[in-house]
Structure 1
Amino acid sequence: MNNHETARRRGPKLPRPLQIAVWLTFAAAAPSAFAQTATTANDSAAAPAGASAAASAAASATGAEKALPAVNVNAAAVVDSPLHLATPVSSGALGTRSQLDTPFSTTVVTGEDLADRQANKLGDVFAGDASVTDNSSAYSAWATYITVRGLPIDWQNGFKIDGNPFISYGITMPYENLERVELLKGAGGFMYGFAQPGGVVNYVTKKPGKDPVTSFDIGYRMDGVLSQHADLSRRFGPDGMFGARINYTHEQGKTYNAGDINRNSVALALDGQLTRDLDIYFNAIYQTSRSSGQTPAIYIPSSYVGTSLPATISGGSNLLNSAGQHLNTNLQLYTAGVKYQITPDWTFNTSASYSKSARDRNESTLTLLNQSGDYSDYRWNGDEGHQDIYWQGAFEGKVKTGPFTHQIVAGASIQHQTNDYSTAAGTAGGTLGAGNLYVQNPYAFYSGSGLDKYRASEINQKALFLSDTMQITSRWSLLAGLRYTNYDQESFSEAGGTTSSYGKNGVVTPTFALMYKLEPETTLYASYVESLEAGQVVSDIYANGGSVLNPLRSRQYEVGIKSEHARWSANAALFRIERGASYANDQNVLMQDGNSIYEGLEAGASVRLGRSWQVAGDIMLLDTWYAKGQTYNGKRVAGAPQFTAATRVTYDVPYVPGLQLGVDAKYTGNTEVRPAGDLETGGYLLVNVGANYVTRIGGHDVTLRAALDNITNRRYWMFQYDSYIAPGDPRTISLNAKIDF
């Protein structure tokens, strides 16, 4: 049975409406796909991002010329630097504006960047951003764990798909299906509502464009994971008024730590330009993933004996793996929306989404006992499910009052979230026994799926928001925004009774910013924003497990500069974030006490040197401490490195047109593992190399990619979460070949 048959037989069974939509997509695309093979290369899919004008011309020339390779596949970097400051980003209640005009620190990683890096987890996506620390582990429930400016991303409220909320825990996105990934750093309370102040990650899916797309790629990742990805996009109907795009990804095989992965994902995007002023759209994502053999989480309790962490081990080792562990997930997201151009200056957007995610976990947590590496293996098994129903409507436009022009965004949103967890009778496992990090884990615990669940909590948010960006002069502008939220959170027992609740109407989270255009391509800004995050449900590892803590308010102050030019771009920001602190005390009770303070500087730049070299660098200096508390005043905040730096250098080989070589490195400084400030991960440097080659074969664009990560096979402890660590990823190689028809 070939790979295509395997992917087809083992792929997910899609819901009926999505099956019909997929069938319509292929039906509409088929005639143009056959016709396309008979046309010139100019009618084929758009050249890869980065193709030069010379390469485009060669693609549309005579047959002899079409056989020639592309002249230079990276000249477009002169127009769009790796910082992508001119790229529009979604800023929630601020509407859509470019990074350059957003008075907060942001990062954009394009789909081409993701393909070049062959990202496998969220930490890979932001490898070039020093403000982002990688806490993620591929193929596991930790795959989306990162910290931004030393603060974690809220897995319940900090992740969006096309601006719509979903529960990210345990979900590795199909990066091949994405147009780009956006990161809003810091507090996002005004823009998105209740969320931790680490930031907000927004995944932007691929949409049908004006040009047809037909591409297919295959990939390999150590030790034996094979992947296939197809991307098909067409416009059809009178004057191309309807568009459809579908992306399908399948990966399966043996992971670098002797585990297994089988993942299938499909993303569908449909749109209709019904009139000159009225557009409609429908997007859907459906993904199933089954993995086993993942490395367990390592927890360090207050009773740990030792002054430092045990000697490092390789993340590629299977010594910690105990039989029976698995993570099976399912993600569904359906979105429909309407955009209406009311007048030349005013638009109305409204959309509704439904997301559903589920996890079946059989997972070990190794409680580390001492510096020698002894541990107790505790196995947890259970099913979890989440649903998010979301609606938002907003007016966006311009008005004039005397000499001032106002950019107005006014709207409302409603969100209903439910969390379902396994009943006590449905969970099983317990303590399996003792072990040591350097000896093969001998234990096994097997379990099935389909366990009984109960409604554990419900969260409701209703919000009104308004922002006004007033253009005072040609250079000065002032932003003022306000979000007004009614918030309600309830937790329930298995019997259905309410165990805790929190509700508050009229929660106000404001934002203010002053912006100055030093020149059209350079923005100076000073901003202030507040956030309120939902009360934390205490994990069972703590003595007060199951209780709900009060919501925490955060305040953020930031001063920054962004500048985008043809051959260079740069940004920098000074920031201070004040957040309520929570940590476990000596009795292992998770408590709220005082504040966590984060002060830092982040700066990045990218410059093109000559015709062949591109150099980029990024740094973050961070000072953190606990304040106004009773226990850890003055100690560094757990999970916040004092210094990080990242750099990337690429070289377009002039003697081999289409070949680009690259090397990138990231240094992460010492990180406190727990609030007591007595254990550190130690600093570590990771170096990666890669190569991309674009050519033409048989009249089609072909892209070959290779990446070798952690080339020195550096062993290191990676901070994952407060009092949790993990062994870092080993040296891995990834290969990919893509053809555009």
Structure 2
Amino acid sequence: MNNQDTQRRTGLTLPRPLQIAAWLTFAAAAQSSLAQTAGSANAAAPAAASSAATSSGTEHALPAVNVSASAEADSPLHLGIPVSTGALGSRSQLETPFSTTVVTGEDLADRQVNKLGDVFAGDASVTDNSNAYSAWATYITIRGLPVDWQNGFRIDGNPFISYGITMPYDNLERVELLKGAGGFMYGFAQPGGVVNYVTKKPDARPVTSFDFGYRMDGVLSQHADLSRRFGPDGMFGARINYTHEEGKTYNAGDINRNSVALALDGQLTRDLDVYANAIYQQSRSSGQTPAIYTGSYTATSLPATISGGTNLLGGTDQHLNTNLQLYTAGVRYQITPDWTFNTSASYSKSARDRNESTLTLLNQAGDYSDSRWNGDEGHQDIYWQGMFEGRLKTGPFTHQLALGASWQHQTNDYSSVSKYFTLGDGNLYQPNPWRYYSGSGLETYRASEITQKALFASDTIQLTNRWSILAGVRYTNYAQDSYNIDGSLASSYRQNGILTPTFALMYKLEPNTNLYASYVESLEQGAIVGSIYANGGALLRPLRSRQYEIGIKSEHERWSANAALFRIERAAAYANDQNVYVQDGNSIYEGIEAGGSVRLGRGWQVAGDVMLLDTWYAKGQAYNGQRVAGAPQFVAAARVTYDVPFVAGLQVGADAKYTGNTEVRPAGNLETGGYMLVNIGANYMTRLGGHDVTLRAAIDNLTNRRYWMYQYSDYIGPGDPRTVSLNARIDF
């Protein structure tokens, strides 16, 4: 069998530069292993650790913050961990005057998460709208607002298009979530929030681990994690993570995914660090669970629920094939003890080949009309940012400054011959009789281009030991063009000098407790009006939203807690009585969220989170006063873990999340109904043959609860069924 045949069977064809870098990493690891055998590692490790400490604050040094599992257990909200806050620079959650959540890689592994909604299962502000193994796998709402799939996702702070892309969570150090409007921090994005995936970076200590997993109904996975430092005094670092999963999914579909993440760094001098990262992922899946459209549904209650594990709704003719590539390079220079300069550039490319049904629900008996969409889509993002961070004093005041600039160019390509057609009628409780098989590689055209050029500045002024204020502003020049299939310009929008400010007042009740009040604005891209409206093809101006928040964060040795009271005013767009798609009015989101965690005795860890949310359409909306679609009024989550005292290394845990009634459509006459999901799991750490071994087991949706899940305005889907996951990891 030749090399091309091997690549075709595995579904993974790495770009030549990434192949070379991967081989170099393994070669460096082998060299380091030989050096350890010879007894030289003991000298290199302290030097590497010292070098990492000297360059603290760089991306590649961040994993060293999580010094031990026990430290993470005592600090379950991770408020002291530095998080990326865009134009604010790097600061801890405790010092960030906005609501944030951090989920560590160990927690992801313990719970064996499989989609983005699972990542934030313990956060009541986040609602899962997703099915695994489908184009909806990253759909979540935050405080009732969707995350912008074009602008709301980042990898190590670099933008990429997330639609249809499920990240390999094995390759991540942690996942960060900035809730609400992020216009000042990151530029244009819907005000739901920003998800930042932080990949694993070279560690000061050698890492060699392999794990093997199983997920119902027959998905097998393998993952390798290898990290080494090499060169004089360990000045160079390399880490590679490789994940493969393949098998039969719970809805009788198939998955074949390969993903590799490579991270390189060089601590060239005491003050100068460089780094380069690359991600390549290729995924092929079939047997998609269709979305169910309720726009033509006239009943005021949904049909009887069905299991998300059913294969009645579709067959293996429906598929989703995706490809993700991200390449990043950066430099960090310590100008003085108080000032640093960071600059980085990234290129991301994502592609989708979709063949999927949408079932238009007709009546309460579950009858539907099956419409199929088949097409290819692609996106590219080129991004650059440079930023100075530092401190200075003016009289009695200390200033923490961040000054920078960024440039981003995004392109969207869509199929010129995509198909959308009706196959026929069916019923939710009977096998779908319709099949339409298709290939890939459809011709695409450049549908739109978006360019953002920005300058930003922020100043956090320390007024006293307790009081500080923050002021920041982003200045953006924005350009958006859309094109016809023949390449001619269809519409264009230009606006220079767009300002998105932020302000905050902070008061430290004690060193580890921060009280804050903040204000921030955001802008989201203007919509290209669809052809079904009277002004079809028009390009609307960007929408501005505003967020007000008062919150508190407190971190202690055995307990931590946070709470926030918020109001978000999101500008709205809708079709008026003349079927003209207009921008008018607001959607209002007001609520309170609160959570905390406490360690009881030597073995118990108890955590809880709750959100109360009130929403309505206002000021010119066609649905004035109605609850906003997709925004549950009440969500509560809880988690308990217990270190079993008579079995050293064994921890068991359970978590539950209740999601209240959620409006499916803006008319306010159809709800999903409330539902509670319960998950359990256990992990056992031991030593076999002189190596650390971790065994994990998890059962999601323990009671096999059937429920309708809100996906998007007017769309629902069946929730995921009970699934069992097993994993074994060995560290060398």
The TM-score bracket by the shorter chain reads over 0.9
| Change in 2 beyond 3 A, CA 1:544/1:6 | farther
Q: 1:400: which partner in 2?
A: 393
CA contact (8 A) 1:78 1:567 kept: no
Change (3 A) 1:589 1:729: farther
Q: Contact 2:184–2:474 at 8 Å: present in 1 too?
A: yes
CA contact (8 A) 2:45 2:204 kept: no
Pick one of 356, 360, 374 that aligns with 1:381: 374
> Aligned-pair distance for 1:275?
0.5
Identity level (%): 82
CA distance in 1, matches of 2:476, 2:188: 9
Q: Measured at CA, do residues 439 and 36 of structure 1 come closer, stay the same or move farther in structure 2, by a change above 3 Å? A: farther
- Looking at structure 2, the residues matched to 738 and 44 of structure 1 have their Cα atoms a distance apart, in angstroms, of 26
Q: Is the 8 A contact 1:181 1:203 kept in 2?
A: yes
Cα deviation 1:410-466 (Å, max 9, x = unaligned): 00000000000000xx22351000111111001111111111110000000000000
Distance 1:588 1:253 in 2: 47
Q: Does 1:328 align with 2:321?
A: yes
Residues 371, 585 of structure 1: CA spacing in aligned structure 2 closer, same or farther, 3 A cutoff?
farther
Partner of 1:56: none
Match for 2:29: what amino acid? A
Give, in angstroms, the shift of residue 703 of structure 1.
0.3
State the alpha-carbon separation in 2 of the partners of residues 659 and 251 from structure 1.
27
What is the match of residue 153 of structure 2?
159
CA contact (8 A) 2:356 2:374 kept: yes
**Relative to structure 2, which stretch is displaced further, 542-551 or 379-388?**
542-551
Normalised to the residue count of structure 1, the TM-score between the two structures is: 0.93
Counterpart check, 1:188 vs 2:179: no
Matching residue of 1:626: 617
Q: Say whether the 8 Å CA contact 2:7–2:13 is kept in structure 1.
A: no
Q: Where does the alignment leave 5 or more consecutive residues of structure 1 unmatched?
A: 47-72
Tell me the residue number matched to 1:142: 136
Output one character per residue of 1:55-85: Cα deviation in whole Å (capped at 9) or x when no partner: xxxxxxxxxxxxxxxxxx9971576422110
2:548 corresponds in structure 1 to: 557
Deviation for aligned residue 1:342: 0.4
Q: Report the CA distance shift for 1:740/1:549 in structure 2 as closer, same or farther (over 3 A).
A: same
Counterpart Cα distance in 1 of 2:707 and 2:528: 31
Aligned with 1:204 (options 185, 198, 205): 198
TM-score computed with the length of structure 2 as normaliser: 0.94
Q: d(CA) in 2 for partners of 1:323 and 1:290?
A: 12
What displacement does 1:580 show?
1.1
Secondary structure in structure 2 of the residue aligned to 1:316:
coil
C-alpha distance in 2, partners of 1:418/1:702?
Answer: 45
> What amino acid is aligned across from residue 14 of structure 1 in structure 2?
L
Counting only pairs closer than 5 Å after superposition, residues 5-20 of structure 1 correspond to structure 2 as: 10-20=10-20
Q: Deviations over 1:207-248 (max 9, x none)?
A: 001101000000000000000000000000000000000000
Instruction: Tell me by how many angstroms 1:592 deviates.
Output: 3.3
Which structure 2 residues correspond to residues 414-425 of structure 1 after superposition, within 5 A? Answer: 414-423=407-416
Shift in Å at residue 549 of structure 1? 3.4
Whether the aligned pair in 2 keeps the contact of 1:626 and 1:636 (CA below 8 Å) is: yes
Paired amino acid for 1:219: G
Partner of 2:294: 300
User: Counterpart in 2 of 1:448?
Assistant: 439
- Residues in 2 aligned to 1:120 and 1:712: alpha-carbon distance in whole angstroms: 18
Asked whether the equivalents of residues 275 and 331 of structure 2 are also in contact (C-alpha less than 8 Å), the reply is: yes
1:323–1:445 CA contact under 8 A, matched in 2: no
Report what 2:679 is aligned to. Answer: 688
Q: Deviation of residue 491 (structure 1)?
A: 0.7
Aligned-pair CA distance for 1:545: 6.2
Aligned to 2:527: 536
The corresponding residue for 2:25 is: 25
CA distance in 1, matches of 2:438, 2:425: 21
**CA 307–614 in structure 1, closer or farther in 2 if over 3 Å, else same:** same
Q: Which amino acid in the other structure matches residue 333 of structure 1?
A: L
| Deviates further, 309-318 or 78-87 | 78-87
Quote the Cα distance in structure 1 between the aligned partners of 2:169 and 2:17. 24
Would you say the 8 A contact 1:78–1:566 is kept in 2?
no
Summarize the Cα distance change of 1:8–1:496 in structure 2 as closer, same or farther, 3 Å threshold.
closer
- Pick the aligned partner of 1:616 from 601, 607, 610: 607
- Over 3 Å counting, the alpha-carbon distance change for 1:165 and 1:307 in structure 2 is same
How much has 1:293 moved relative to structure 2?
0.4
Corresponding residue for residue 60 of structure 1 = none
Equivalent of 2:331 in 334, 338, 342: 338
Superposition map of 1:233-272 within 5 A:
233-272=227-266
* RMSD (Å), alpha carbons: 2.2
- Whichever residue aligns with residue 330 of structure 2, its letter is G
1:349 maps onto 2:332 in alignment = no
Q: 1:40 to 1:702 in 2, by over 3 A?
A: farther
Task: Please list the CA deviations of residues 181-204 of structure 1 after superposition, one character each: whole Å capped at 9, or x if unmatched.
Answer: 000000000000010000000000
1:368 aligned partner: 361
Query: Aligned to 2:21, what secondary structure does the other structure show?
Result: helix
**Comparing 543-552 and 334-343, the one that deviates more:** 543-552
Letter in 2 for 1:28: A
Q: Matches of 1:631 and 1:245 in 2, distance apart?
A: 53
User: AA paired with 1:356?
Assistant: K
| Counterparts of 1:447 and 1:542, CA distance in 2 | 30
Aligned residues: 709
What do the CA deviations read for 1:555-588 (whole angstroms, capped 9, x no partner)?
A: 0000000000000000000000001123456787
Gap regions ≥5 residues in structure 2: 47-66
AA partner of residue 206 (structure 1)? K
CA–CA separation in structure 2 for the residues paired with 1:521 and 1:479? 19
1:726 aligns with 2:717: yes
The answer for the alignment partner of 1:81 in structure 2 is 75
1:572 aligns with 2:566: no
Residue 602 (1) aligns with residue 602 (2): no
In the alignment, residue 378 of structure 2 is paired with which amino acid? G
Match of 2:465 among 433, 452, 474: 474
Q: Does 1:125 align with 2:119?
A: yes
**2 CA distance for matches of 1:672 and 1:340?**
50
Partner of 1:169: 163
**AA at the equivalent of 1:527:** S
* Residues 44 and 37 of structure 1: CA distance in aligned 2, closer, same or farther (over 3 Å): farther
Offset at residue 136 of structure 1 (A)? 1.1
Q: What is the Cα deviation at residue 43 of structure 1?
A: 11
Displacement after TM superposition at 1:536 (Å) = 2.5
Q: Contact 1:467/1:481 (CA < 8 Å) preserved in 2?
A: yes
Q: Hey, what's the Cα distance between the residues in 2 that align with 1:491 and 1:341?
A: 42
Alignment partners' CA distance in 2, 1:237 and 1:30:
13
**1:300 offset after TM fit, Å?**
1.0
- Match of 1:375, SS state, is strand
Alpha-carbon displacement from aligned partner over 1:311-338 (angstroms, at most 9, x marks no partner)? 1100000110144111000000000000
AA matched with 2:127: T
> What is the aligned partner in structure 1 of residue 648 from structure 2?
657
